[in-house]
A and B are shown apart, each in its own frame.
Chain A
Amino acid sequence: MSIDQSTAARVAKLARIKVEEDQLPALASEFNTILGFIEQLSEVDVEGVEPMTSVTPQRLKRRVDEVTDGGQQDKVLANAPDAREGFFAVPKVVE
């Protein structure tokens, strides 16, 4: 499986990371190096093996479905690059 420039551009788009056109060949080549390394996994016989979901056998704890926290709007917004009138502010989303 070899990654070409258009695949690299598609992955960058999916990851929401801007990559300049002239950087794409280098990026595609790095992907190919790493994926070449990962390719070894195809040698392993995984027939009938369950994919791991939890590294320690444990049941997730349950708790009563109730409000345990909240009322901290100022703290939630304290680190926002742009907060106005109690909300996170972002560029226009809908035309």
Chain B
Amino acid sequence: MAELNKLGLAEARDALRNGDVTSVELTEACLTEIDGAGALNAFVHNTPEIARDQAKAADVRIKAGDAPDMCGLPIGIKDLFCTKGVPSQAGSRILEGFLPEYESTVSGNLLDAGAVMLGKLNMDEFAMGSSNETSVYGNAVNPWRRGNDDAALTPGGSSGGSASAVAADLCLAATGTDTGGSIRQPAALTGITGIKPTYGRCSRWGVVAFASSLDQAGPMTKSVRDAAIMLEAMCSHDPKDSTSADLPVPNFEAMLTGDIKGKKIGIPAEYRMDGMPEEIETLWTQGREMLADAGAEIIDISLPHTKYALPAYYVIAPAEASSNLARYDGVRYGHRAKLDQGDGITEMYEKTRAEGFGDEVKRRVMIGTYVLSAGFYDAYYNRARKVRTLIKKDFEDVFAQGIDAILTPATPSAAFGLGEVSDDPVQMYLNDVFTVTVNMAGLPGIAVPAGTDAQGLPLGLQLIGRPWEEGDLLNTAYALEARAGFVAKPQKWW
């Protein structure tokens, strides 16, 4: 079999089970690709020895007939997941040298299923960013380019390394995390599939926390079927995360029938933004037609509080971040600043955090500190939490009307050039305008590649589902994927 690294999870699983290929062969193919892809800066901590050992063990399991779906499949892990004995820095200088003594539940679930870890993937620092430009490792680069223009483009963020690695076939799939769109936006900008499940589906234990009420892990894959396979392996009830759902995890792949006849798909009027590029508008219309062609009923709906989701997010997420990131104090792990004569513990905290955090993280921690401070708590934080209640109610209302899923664009534009978005942080925040509502309401959302823009860059559509109905959502995405027929791949230049 040629070019094993280009396989998806489902194809590779079937080939392994048929004895057409071994996990060692798949793993070596990916390791070779990773070695040649330094220009993408996607993998930032390579673990070839671990991968080879795991691949050998997987081959034994497969031969013995004890092979869960993920067994023997080489994947990348976002740097936000704590992986035992392997650097886990969340893209930050402040966690330099940190070697976790434990494995996150999600990566542990994947490894228990026999998945092979190729290494850790680049990301925005503490998952705060939409372009992978805030990483201590430097920018991850999108394998896609605008026609023959060799300007480096963003793979999106914060799971930019994961998106770049999967799109460039350095691995079969990767883990991501999504607080405001960090799986779906990079998936859309790189022409791959990414799903954020319902809040509580995946355990947050061992995943470096950004905003605990919004963070969820999910898979980033080459197809909807692959997303179904990997999501099932990632999900579990975990007593170590009190918000993890004690619900059975369905066989998502078995739910992919492609039959969506009679499903009601909502089109929210509020997602038609001023200044939205015509290509995005056209893609959205095409997506509507594809789902109608598959037998779904298309219904115009209203989600009236949509425009307030992003400002409410930029109160709630920084507030939670300021609290979560208080633990980086130079005492228990990671970086500690060199102290001057006479410096006390306060100077140690202040210097350590000034040196260890990048500008965007500092900005968000301080904004969070401000909105939680005495005198502003009600005006900002409590008001934002009330608005969040209203945003969730918007979705509950349309689901109560019988809507099964909601179709929206995934991003307001195709991938932009690294360094191209102005220094204005608010401009960068607008990248998540279509995805952040889903986190605010705790719903499952999936980005599916659906077309290209005039310059040949991929564009994605987003489907939003009912809580806990990822299986149904994946099936709708599967029907959309089949009709969109997106097969384009980036030309290899790296």
Q: Which residues of A come within 8 Å of B, CB atoms?
A: 3, 8, 11-12, 14-19, 27, 30-31, 33-35, 37-44, 46, 49-56, 58, 60-61, 63, 72, 75-76, 78-82, 88, 90-93
With A17-B362, A92-B344 known as contacts, the answer to whether A41 contacts B384 (CB < 8 A) is: yes
Query: Which residues of chain B come closer than 8 Å to A56, judged between CB atoms?
Result: 198-200, 243, 245, 442, 467
Considering the chains assembled together, what is the distance between the CA atoms of A37 and B427 in angstroms? 10
Q: Are B332 and A18 in contact (CB under 8 A)?
A: no
Residues of B within 8 A of A46 (CB): 383, 386-387, 390
Q: State whether B336 touches A58 (Cβ < 8 A).
A: no
The stretch among B42-50, B183-191, B273-281, B365-373 that forms the contact with chain A is B365-373
| C-alpha gap A80/B389 in the complex (Å) | 40
Are A15 and B363 closer than 8 Å at their CB atoms?
Answer: no
Are B429's CB and A17's CB within 8 A? no
Given A30-B425, A41-B383, A90-B345 in contact, is the A17-B332 Cβ separation under 8 Å? no
- Tally inter-chain residue pairs, CB-CB below 8 A: 164
Query: Which residue in chain A gives the minimum CB-CB distance to B326?
Result: A16
Contacts of A43 in B (CB 8 A): 308
B382 to chain A, nearest CB (A): 5
**B348 CB-CB contact with A under 8 Å:** yes
> In the complex the two chains form, what is the Cα distance from A88 to B345 in whole Å?
13
| Shortest Cβ gap from B334 to chain A (Å) | 7
Q: Is the CB of A55 within 8 A of B213?
A: yes
B201 and chain A: residue at smallest CB distance: A56
Provide the bound-state CA to CA distance between A42 and B376, in Å.
Answer: 13
Q: Known A-B contacts: A35-B370, A44-B390, A91-B345. Give 10 more (CB < 8 A).
A: A8-B366, A15-B322, A16-B326, A17-B362, A18-B347, A38-B315, A44-B308, A58-B245, A63-B239, A91-B344
Instruction: Report chain A residues within 8 Å CB of B310.
Output: 37
Q: Tell me whether A40 and B307 are in contact in the complex, defined as CB-CB below 8 angstroms, given that A15-B365, A18-B354, A19-B354 are known contacts.
A: yes
Most A CB atoms within 10 A — which of B99, B243, B349, B386?
Answer: B386
Look across to chain B and name the residue whose beta carbon is closest to the beta carbon of A19. B354
Return the contact of B387 from the options A34, A44, A55, A91 (Cβ within 8 A). Answer: A44
Contact between A60 and B386 (Cβ–Cβ < 8 Å)? Answer: no
Bound Cα distance from A17 to B349, whole angstroms:
7
- Give 3 nearest A-B pairs by CB, closest first: A55-B442, A51-B385, A79-B333
Hey, which chain A residues are within 8 Å of B332, CB to CB?
Answer: 76, 79-80, 88
Distance in Å from the Cβ of A67 to the closest Cβ of chain B?
15
User: Once the chains bind, are B350 and A18 in contact (CB under 8 Å)?
Assistant: yes
Is residue B421 within 8 Å, beta carbon to beta carbon, of the partner chain?
no
CB atoms of A50 and B386 under 8 A apart: yes
Quick one: given A17-B357, A58-B245, are A34 and B425 in contact (CB under 8 Å)? yes
- Assembled-state Cα–Cα distance A41/B376 (Å): 14
Within 8 A of A (CB), among B336-350: 336, 339, 343-350
Tell me the complex Cα distance, A42–B97, Å: 44
Give A52 to B198 CA distance when docked, in angstroms. 17
CB of A51 within 8 A of CB of B366, answer no
Q: When chains A and B are docked, how far (Å) is the Cα of A8 from the Cα of B97?
A: 31
B228-275 interface with A by 8 A CB criterion: 239, 242-243, 245-246
B399 contacts chain A at the CB level, 8 A cutoff = no
Q: Is the CB of B383 within 8 A of A79?
A: no
B331 interface contact, C-beta 8 A: yes
B336 A82 Cβ-Cβ under 8 A: yes
- Measured CA separation A58–B314 after assembly (Å): 25
Is residue B311 within 8 Å, beta carbon to beta carbon, of the partner chain?
yes
Interface string of B99-118 (1 = CB under 8 A from A): 10100000000000000000
Q: Which residues of B contact A76 (CB under 8 A)?
A: 101, 332
Closest to B330 in A: A81
> Does B424 lie at the interface of the complex (its beta carbon under 8 Å from any beta carbon of A)?
yes
Among candidates A27, A38, A91, residue contacting B380 with C-beta atoms closer than 8 Å: A38
Most B-side CB within 10 Å, residue of A8, A40, A56, A78: A56
Q: When the two chains form their complex, are residues A16 and B311 in contact, meaning their CB atoms are under 8 A apart?
A: no
Check B392 for interface membership: any CB of A closer than 8 A: yes
Closest to A93 in B: B345
Does A93 contact B344, Cβ atoms closer than 8 Å?
yes
Given known A17-B362, A34-B314, contact A78–B99 (CB-CB < 8 A): yes
Q: Which of B335, B343, B349 contacts A81 (CB 8 A)?
A: B335
Count chain B CB atoms within 10 A of each CB in A8, A15, A56 and give the residue with the most. A15
Whether the Cβ atoms of A16 and B353 lie closer than 8 Å is yes
> Which residues of chain B have C-beta atoms less than 8 A from A42's C-beta?
383
By a CB distance below 8 angstroms, the chain B residues around A93 are: 344-345
Chain B residue nearest to A55 in the complex (CB): B442
Q: Which residues of A contact B350 (CB under 8 A)?
A: 16-18
A61–B246 touching, CB < 8 Å: yes
List CB contacts (< 8 Å) of B181-220 with chain A.
Answer: 198-200, 213
Given the known interface contacts A44-B390, A81-B334, the answer about A18 and B343 at a Cβ–Cβ threshold of 8 Å is no
Tell me whether A51 and B386 are in contact in the complex, defined as CB-CB below 8 angstroms, given that A14-B369, A15-B369 are known contacts: yes
Instruction: Provide the residues of chain A in CB contact with B426, threshold 8 Å.
Output: 33-34, 37
